[in-house]
Amino acid sequence: MIRPRDLVFVLVVAFHVSMVCSAAVFVERPFHDEPFYPSDLDGANSTKYRDLTAGFKWNKTLLSYSIINFPTGVPPNLIRTTIRRAFDAWSRYTNLNFVESLSAMVDIQLAFEGVNHYRRGLPCRFSQEITLAHAFFPEDGDIHFNKKYFFTEGASIEQFLNTAVHEIGHSLGLLHSSSRKSIMYGAQLQELFSEPQPEDIQAIQEIYGIRSAPQTTTQPPPRAITTPKPRTTTELCSLSSFDTIVTDHRGNVCVLAGRFYYNLNETNPPPRKISAKWPGLPPNVDAAFTYRDQKTYFFKGDQYWKYDKLRMEENYPRSIAVSFPGVPQDMDTILLSPTAGFHAFRGTQYWFYDTRKLKPVERHFPKLIRELGGFPARLDAALLLGERRYIFSDLRYYEVDDETRIVGESGDVRRDWFNCV
C-alpha cells in the first residue's frame, strides 16, 4: 500500500500536504539544480560560467566516487545501495563504469549538505534555500543533496533514487531536457523514473558511446611509489637536494630540481626541462601541489602559477599576498590538509590556511614546527599521494597522519622513492 507521504517530495517550496479522501496532491516541482563550476582554490573562476549548450565529458571510462556523509535517520547501507543503483542505471547503457572508494581523491564526491557548505575545501552553496540538489559538470562532477529534504520531509527512497539518477546525469555532462518523458526533465513529476529514458540513453551514448563490454566495478591497482627496476645510471641518484615533489594531472610523481624534473613513475627517468612540461614555469620553485580540483599550483618568491593539466591559466603568475592573504612568501613547502586548506612551512615556522574561514590565516600564526608531532626542524618538500601524506627533509621522508603527526619511522628518499642502489 502506498502511503500519502510517499507521494510528497518537496523540491523548491515549503509544501503543505492537502489531504482529500486520504490522498495527497502531487505538484510538479522544478529542480533548480542547473550544474555549474565553482571558484578555484585561489578565488579565481578562470573557467567562468561556460555555455551550458556546449559538450562536457569525462576523458576516462572508469570513474570513482565516494559518499562523504549520510542523512540522519536513514541506514547508510540503504543510501549506499540506492546511489549504486543510480550509477548502474547509467552504466548499463554506455561505456562508463563506476567504483565506490573511501579515498578523498575520487572523481565524484556525493554529500548531504545545508544551504551553505563546502566542496573539497572551497565555499559552495545551493542557489536557493529551496533547492533540492545540485551537481557539477565534468570533470568536476560532485553532487550535493540538500539535507533539509533527505529524509526529513516525507521523501521516499524512490524519490531520492529519481533525484540521484537525475543529478548523476548532470555529473556526466547532460543538460535539462524539455521532454516530460526524460529523467533529465527540469522538474520532478508524479511518474518517478528510476533509470534513463530513451531520450536520455541516446544523449549519453552520443557522448560516451554504446556499451560494448560488461559492466565492472573493479578499481585499477594503485601506483607503486617505487618502480620495479633499480635506477643505477640516472642523475636523479646524484641529487643532494631537490626543490619540491608534486603529482601531475595524470598522477605521475615528479621531483623538481633546478631547471629539471624527474618522473618517478618511469624506470631510470632522465632529467627533463620543467619549462617543456609546464610552459612558462620558472626554475627553482619553492613549493607545489595538485589540489582536489586537479589544478596544479607552483609557488616561488612572492608569486604563484596555476596550471589546468599542463596549460598555464590566464593572468598568471599572481601575487601570493593577494590570493592567499596571511601566507608567507619564499616558502619551503606546502602540505595539503585532508579536509580543507593547507599548511605552509618556512624556516622553523608554519602557517595554516583554512579555506573554510573568512580570515583563512588566524592571528596566532605562525607557530613553531617543533610543536607538531615529531616533525623535523625544517622541511624541504611535502606530498599528498592518494590518501597518504608525506614530508621530506634532508633526503629523509616521513608519513603524516590526519592529525599532522609523524607516523612510524623515517625512510631514505633515494632508496624508497628514487629506487637507487
DSSP 339-375: SSSEEEEETTEEEEE-TTSSSSS-TT--EEGGGSBS-
- Is the distance from CB of 255 to CB of 236 less than 8 angstroms? yes
Q: Are residues 70 and 182 in the same domain?
A: yes
Q: Does residue 303 fall inside a structural domain?
A: yes
- Is the distance from CB of 170 to CB of 36 less than 8 angstroms? no
Crossing angle for the helix pair 76-91 and 157-171, nearest 10 degrees?
Answer: 50
Which CATH number is 404's domain given?
A: 2.110.10.10
Last residue of a domain, one of 208, 223, 256: 208
- Residue 139: is the preceding peptide bond cis (ω within 30°)? yes
CA distance 147 to 158: 16
Name the residue among 289, 301, 294 with its Cα closest to residue 327.
301
Q: Are residues 167 and 301 in the same domain?
A: no
Q: Does residue 221 fall inside a structural domain?
A: no
- Is the distance from CB of 243 to CB of 286 less than 8 angstroms? yes
Q: Are residues 257 and 403 in the same domain?
A: yes
Q: Are residues 134 and 244 in the same domain?
A: no
Name the residue among 89, 393, 383 with its Cα closest to residue 248.
383
Q: Are residues 241 and 166 in the same domain?
A: no
CA distance 385 to 119: 20
DSSP state of 325: T
C-alpha cell at 52: 551550458
The residue segments making up the domain with residue 312 are 235-416
Which CATH number is 11's domain given?
A: 3.40.390.10
pLDDT at 404: 86
Rounded to 5°, angle at Cα 33 from 31 and 36: 165
Q: Are residues 71 and 167 in the same domain?
A: yes
- As annotated, the active-site residues are 167
Those residues with Cβ within 8 angstroms of residue 346's Cβ, 6 or more apart along the chain or in another chain: 328, 330, 331, 332, 366
If 0-12 CB within 10 Å is exposed, 13-18 middle and 19+ buried, where does residue 402 land?
exposed
CB count within 10 Å of CB 13 equals: 11
Residue type, 395: L
C-alpha cell at 311: 596549460
- Is the distance from CB of 313 to CB of 306 less than 8 angstroms? yes
Q: Does residue 68 fall inside a structural domain?
A: yes
CB-hemisphere CA count at 13 Å for 269?
Answer: 22
Last residue of a domain, one of 192, 208, 224: 208
What residues in the chain have per-residue pLDDT under 70?
A: 1-39, 45-55, 104, 152-155, 216-233, 339
Q: Does residue 355 fall inside a structural domain?
A: yes
Q: Are residues 71 and 180 in the same domain?
A: yes
Name the residue among 115, 112, 99, 97 with its Cα closest to residue 167.
112
pLDDT at 53: 30
- Is the distance from CB of 306 to CB of 295 less than 8 angstroms? yes
Number of domains in the chain: 2
C-alpha cell at 12: 523548491
pTM of the model: 0.57
Q: Does residue 374 fall inside a structural domain?
A: yes
Q: Are residues 124 and 241 in the same domain?
A: no
- Is the distance from CB of 105 to CB of 22 less than 8 angstroms? no
C-alpha cell at 187: 522538474
Q: Does residue 229 fall inside a structural domain?
A: no
Q: Does residue 91 fall inside a structural domain?
A: yes
CA distance 181 to 285: 55
CA distance 417 to 227: 9
Residues in the chain, total? 421
Q: Are residues 180 and 265 in the same domain?
A: no
pLDDT at 226: 40
